[in-house]
Structure formats: structure tokens, C-alpha cells
Amino acid sequence: MTLPPLSLPSDLASAHAALLAERAARIEAEAEAANAKARLSSTEALIAHLQLLIGKLEREKHGPRRERTQRLIDQLELQLEELVASAAEDEMAAEDAAAKTQTVRAFTRKRPVRKPWPENIERERIVIEAPTTCSCCGGSRLSKLGEDVTETLEEIPRRFKVIETVREKFACRDCEAISQAPAPFHATPRGFLGPNLLATVMFDKFGQHMPLNRQSTRFKCEGIDLSTQTLADQVGHVTFAVKPLFDMIEAHVFQAERLHGDDTTIPILAKGKCTTGRIWVYVRDDQPFAGAAPPAAVFYASRDRRGEHPQRHLADFSGILQADCYNGFNPLFDRTKRQMPATPAFCFAHARRKFFELADVARNARRGKGARPVSPIALEAVKRIDALFAIERDINGLGAAERLAVRQEKSKPLLSDMEEWLRAERASLSRSSSVREPMDYMLSRWADFARYVNDGRICMTNNAAERALRGVACGRKAWLFAGSDRGADRAAVMLTLITTARLNDIDPKAWLADVLARIADLPASRLHELLPWRWKEQMTTAIAAAA
């Protein structure tokens, strides 16, 4: 097919008009294209936002124990961040393109409703000088009708100040003795940092996982020269100062009837190389069965994972220990070795995870031809465990007696049926079957897995301990390793305080600042007032009284 020859104008004026028309059409087409691109970016951001909402709703529905849900939510949030940024760029490009035309209207993306600012936020009022003459007629007889206020959120860079405390000296005219007020208190010996700044350093290091060398660099950018050595010196002093609180939290944790215990790796520097040490955590959390005791967690550090460490930590504990099936805990349950042994209660989340790996359809689809076939037995096991979890979600937060009654009525028959099914399926499996291992993992310890249906205080999982260790798992990617065994022990002390504050729904940084301001003035008999749950009660009472 041949195209007709292009007709061109014969005179200069017609050619000029044709060029202008062509240019206007091109600009209009570019504006339309920019609008379409901005509209597409906005739609993609909206889809990502809706997917994120669906993920969060599914997490609320199925509980925090569901595998991969939190990781998926984190990925969706990162994706949404990038898509919104791209949509904003494309919207600005569409506005620039539309401004060059008379016919195309720029696309405007629908934005989420802005949340109100906090009531106690600092405000600065800037009044623009009012006009003195009318912009229309030039008259000077103007009367105020009202005002329009434009709110802009701005940041004030972190401010530092030096507090000069003056202590005047007086000499006695009779005995020549000198009288002077005592020196102001510093949280650390020979210290020169205030409690709020110390709390910032400690919380950034152990709560936000920002090493001291990076903190030092940030301070220097803000005009304050605090070397890493200076900051490390203060960290050592603060850790020593708050050690009595660690001891009280430790005592409170091991008074519990039931504990969650777990551990995770922590690289520890030793003679030019890193060894794989361990951080251990024991969590007291009675909230699932409506217990009155406040939640708390205690951390310990060790250079290895030998069983002697948890056995030393739990030497005087004789309650219920919820944990994974780590062999180092076994001597704690041995009645022949301990007069008052602990009682094991193993974690269904660990057991389910082993089945879930063999039943993960989505992962197998990603692996393609190299994927192993999905095990129907593992898939059925996951469904049966999920049915038990569904019952637990309905009774979470009820009293122990109520939980026990529901479990006896609903969970116990399902659990008995699951045991019979597992044993029947296990008998028919070949030695090479991959599902044998997770089945043996449960069946060899069935009484300890099933104990929860006979005690309303026990949880189905050990997720309370895993959640307490999540910060360590994320943080070690930032600080890489602990500098020494002593450094790991200091981290354990501060993690105990920060995690316990978070478990009690208080701001760890604000609490630490108040502790460091008051701890030296309080006698030992009143140190318990600084414990996070006591501190929270005092703050609530003070706020109510002020209102």
C-alpha cells in the first residue's frame, strides 16, 4: 500500500501557520501523554496502597503469627513509597506540560486526608503586612473582613544548650567557714551530658541500633564534637547506673508462673575475628490469660549456645517454660536431676513452620522446575494447626479458666484427632519421605505440645520471645558485631530496659531520661518507683491531676 504524497503549502505564510499548528498539536499530545502517565502512576500507587491495607487487615484477622505476612507488608510499604514518589514526579511533569497548552487540563492526583497536628505542637504565627490601599481603586478606606491561615509543618534542627549552674560561696564572719550549695547532679561520674542527651545516646545505640561512631559523626554535623571514646565512656557509666533496675526486672521476670524463652545469634569480636555468640531472652507476659502482673523481659549474652547458659539462667525457675525443642533446656525438665523441675510447653509455630515449608505452593511456583512437589500431608497438617490457631485468636485475653473451658470443648477433640491422623500417616511413609522429619518432631514430644489444652495459662506459641528478639535480628545488620563479651553484656542490660518499657506501652527514651535524672536522688528502698510499669502509673496519675 502506497501513501499519498505529503501536500506542503506553497507560500511562506501558509508554511508558517502549518508549523505553528503542528507545534500546538505536538505540545497538546505531549500534555495528554504526561497526563496519562501521571494517571497511570497514581493508579499504581492506589493499587499498592490497597494491597498494603489488605495485607494489614489479613494480619489483624489471622494474627501476628502468620508466616511471611509481616515481611510482605514491609515489601508493600517500600513499594508504595517508591510508587507515590514516582506519581508525584509524573504529576509535576503533567502540570508543566499542561501549562504550555490552552486546551489540556493538568491531572491532579487524589491525596489521602491529612491527619491533624498534635494539640501540644509548638506554633509560630507570622502575620503578613496588610495592604494599605485597595488593589482595585487605590482607596485607603479598608476594613478587615477576616483572615485566611495557611499551615506549614516545619522542622527546627535539634538544639543544644549549655546549662550554667552557679553556686555562690559565702564565708562565715564568725568561724570563717565557707558555705556553698552542693554541686548539681550528673547521671554519670565526672559527666557533662544531661539526662535527656544521655537517654538519646543510649536509645539510639540499643533501641535504634545506631553505633556510636555514626552518632559521633551526626553530632559533629550539628556542631557538637563528641568523640566515640567520650560517648563510649558515658555508655559504660549509664549501664552501671541502671544496673539496679535490671536486677529488679530480672527478679520480677523469674517470679512468673510461665515464661517464654528463646535465643538468637549475635556476632562477638574476639582476637581479630568474630565468633557467633548468643543473646538469650526470657519474657514474662501474662496478658494472653488476663494476668495482673506487668509484662517484662530479661536478656543475657553468651559466647556460645551451650546448654549450661540457659540452665544457669533458669536454675531457680520451676514454672512453665515455653520454648522451642532446644536440647539445652532438657535438664531443666528432668525430675531425676532437679527437685523442682520446670514444665515444658513447646511451640506450635515452630512445628507448623516445618510443615509449611513443604506445603508452600507460592514458593514452589517461584522455583519453577527445580521445586519439590507440594506435600499433601504437610498441607493437611498446616490446615489442622490453623484450625487450632483460629480457636486461640477468639480466646486471647480471656481469663485462664475461660480459656481452659473453651480448649477442652473445642481444641482437645481437634488435637486428639490430629494425633491419630499423624500417627496413621507416619506409619505408611517411606524412609525417604521429607515429611517424616516434621511429623517425628511433633510426635516424639506430643505430650509437651498438647499440654496447652489442659492449662489456660499456656500459649500455643513462643512468639512472645521471638518478638522480643526481632530488634536484635534487625539491629545486628546495622552494628555488625558486639565489640567484646562485656559489650554484649551491656547490650543485654539495655535491651532488658528498652524492651520492658515497650512491653508496657511507654516511650523508652522518655522513661530513660527521667530515670537518669532521678536515680541518684532516690534511696534504694524507692528504686522500684522507677520500674516501667510503676513509672507509667505515676505519669498517668500526674496527667489526670493536671487535667
Q: Answer whether residue 466 shows pLDDT above 70.
A: yes
Pair (65, 194) in one structural domain: no
Measured between alpha carbons, how far is 116 from 93 in angstroms, rounded to an integer?
29
Highest mean pLDDT (candidates 68-72, 237-241, 499-503): 499-503
Assess if residue 51 is contained within a domain: yes
**Cell of residue 98, nine digits:** 499542561
Assess if residue 108 is contained within a domain: no
Pair (84, 172) in one structural domain: no
Q: Give the residue from 60, 83, 99 where a domain finishes.
A: 99
Measured between alpha carbons, how far is 29 from 104 in angstroms, rounded to an integer?
9
pLDDT in tens, 348-366: 998 998 888 887 654 554 4
Pair (172, 310) in one structural domain: yes
**By residue range, what is the domain housing residue 86?**
23-99
Assess if residue 158 is contained within a domain: no
Highest mean pLDDT (candidates 134-138, 237-241, 367-371): 237-241
Assess if residue 424 is contained within a domain: no
The Cβ of residue 462 has, within 10 Å, a number of other Cβ atoms equal to 23
Give me the pLDDT at residue 3, please. 46
Assess if residue 534 is contained within a domain: yes
Residue 276 belongs to what H/E stretch? strand 273-284
Question: Residue 167 to residues 171, 178, 182, 186, 483: CA-CA distances in angstroms?
Answer: 13, 12, 8, 15, 41
Pair (58, 174) in one structural domain: no
Pair (266, 171) in one structural domain: yes
Over the chain, what is the mean pLDDT? 81
Assess if residue 173 is contained within a domain: yes
Pair (174, 301) in one structural domain: yes
Q: Answer whether residue 238 shows pLDDT above 60.
A: yes
pLDDT in tens, 48-104: 666 666 666 666 655 554 545 555 555 555 555 555 666 666 666 667 677 777 676
Question: Residue 236 to residues 211, 348, 404, 490, 494: CA-CA distances in angstroms?
Answer: 14, 40, 47, 8, 11
Pair (72, 214) in one structural domain: no
Burial of 192 (0-12, 13-18, 19+ CB in 10 A): exposed
Q: Reduced to 3 states, what is the DSSP secondary structure of residue 502?
A: helix
| The one-letter amino acid at 101 | T
Q: Give the residue from 99, 119, 138 where a domain finishes.
A: 99
Q: Give the residue from 99, 120, 149 where a domain finishes.
A: 99
Q: Answer whether residue 272 shows pLDDT above 70.
A: no
Give me the pLDDT at residue 78, please. 55
Measured between alpha carbons, how far is 471 from 466 in angstroms, rounded to an integer?
10
Pair (93, 172) in one structural domain: no
pLDDT in tens, 136-180: 887 888 787 878 887 777 767 678 888 888 888 888 888 888 888
Give the DSSP letter of residue 126. -
DSSP string, 65-86: TSTTHHHHHHHHHHHHHHHHHH
Assess if residue 54 is contained within a domain: yes
Measured between alpha carbons, how far is 179 from 188 in angstroms, rounded to an integer?
25
Question: Residue 540 to residues 299, 393, 504, 517: CA-CA distances in angstroms?
Answer: 28, 30, 13, 19
Give me the pLDDT at residue 365, please. 44
Pair (337, 485) in one structural domain: yes
Pair (89, 233) in one structural domain: no
CA nearest neighbour of 262 among 303, 309, 294? 309
* Strand-pair category, 320-323 with 343-346: parallel
Total domains, the chain = 2
Assess if residue 114 is contained within a domain: no
Pair (343, 482) in one structural domain: yes
Pair (80, 228) in one structural domain: no
Q: Answer whether residue 371 shows pLDDT above 70.
A: no
Measured between alpha carbons, how far is 218 from 224 in angstroms, rounded to an integer?
9
User: Sign (positive/negative) of CA torsion 406, 408, 414, 419?
Assistant: positive
Lowest mean pLDDT among 70-84, 202-216, 223-237, 447-461: 70-84
CA-angle at 439, arms to 437 and 445, nearest 5° = 105
Q: Answer whether residue 270 shows pLDDT above 70.
A: no
Measured between alpha carbons, how far is 37 from 92 in angstroms, rounded to an integer?
11
